[in-house]
Structure 1
Amino acid sequence: MDKSGKRGEIVRAALELIAEHGFHGAPMAMIADRAGVGAGTIYRYFENKEVMITELYCELEERIYPALHAGYPAEKPIRERFMHLGTSLLRYFIGSPLDFRFLEQFHNSPYGVEYRRDKVLGNREGCDVFRDLFEEGVAQQVIKELPLVLLFDLAFGPLLAMARDHILGFIQLKDSLVVRCIKACWDGIKR
Structure 2
Amino acid sequence: MVYRVTEKALARKADNKAKILTAARTIVAQSGFSGLTIAATAKQAGLATGSMYRYFPNKVELCTALFRQLSGREVGEMHTIAQMDLTPLEAMARCCFNFIQRAFRAPTQSYALIAEPLDPALEMERLVYRRSYAEVYRHVIERGISSGDFSPQDSKTASLAIVGMLAEPLLEPLHRFYSGDKTPYDSHQLALDISRLCLNALGAHQQAKQADLDFLIHESH
TM-score (norm 1): 0.70
* Corresponding position of 1:158: 169
Determine which structure has more spread, i.e. the larger CA radius of gyration.
2
Q: Residues 32-73 of structure 1, C-alpha deviation per residue, up to 9 Å, x if partnerless?
A: 122221111111211221111111111112322443234434
Q: Distance in 1 between matches of 2:129 and 2:47?
A: 35
- Report the CA distance shift for 1:143/1:30 in structure 2 as closer, same or farther (over 3 A): farther
Change over 3 Å in CA distance of 1:111–1:154 after alignment to 2 = same
Partner of 1:169: 183
Match of 1:23 in 2: 33
Residue number in structure 1 paired with 2:98: 88
CA contact (8 A) 1:18 1:26 kept: yes
Number of the residue aligned with 1:182: 195
Paired position in structure 1 for 2:212: none
Q: What do the CA deviations read for 1:89-138 (whole angstroms, capped 9, x no partner)? A: 122223344542441356x4234322343455x5xx68820244457768
Unaligned 5+ runs, structure 2: 1-11, 204-221
The two structures, once aligned, show a CA RMSD in angstroms of 3.7
Matches within 5 A, 1:94-133: 94-97=104-107, 99-105=109-115, 108-109=117-118, 110-119=120-129, 128-133=135-140
Instruction: List aligned pairs for 1:14-53, cutoff 5 A.
Output: 14-53=24-63
Question: TM-score, structure 2 length as denominator?
Answer: 0.62
Judged with a 3 Å threshold, the aligned counterparts in structure 2 of structure 1 residues 150 and 179 are, in CA distance, closer, same or farther, namely closer
Change (3 A) 1:163 1:35: same
Q: Give yes or no for contact 1:22–1:105 (8 Å, CA) kept in 2.
A: no
1:62 maps to which residue? 72
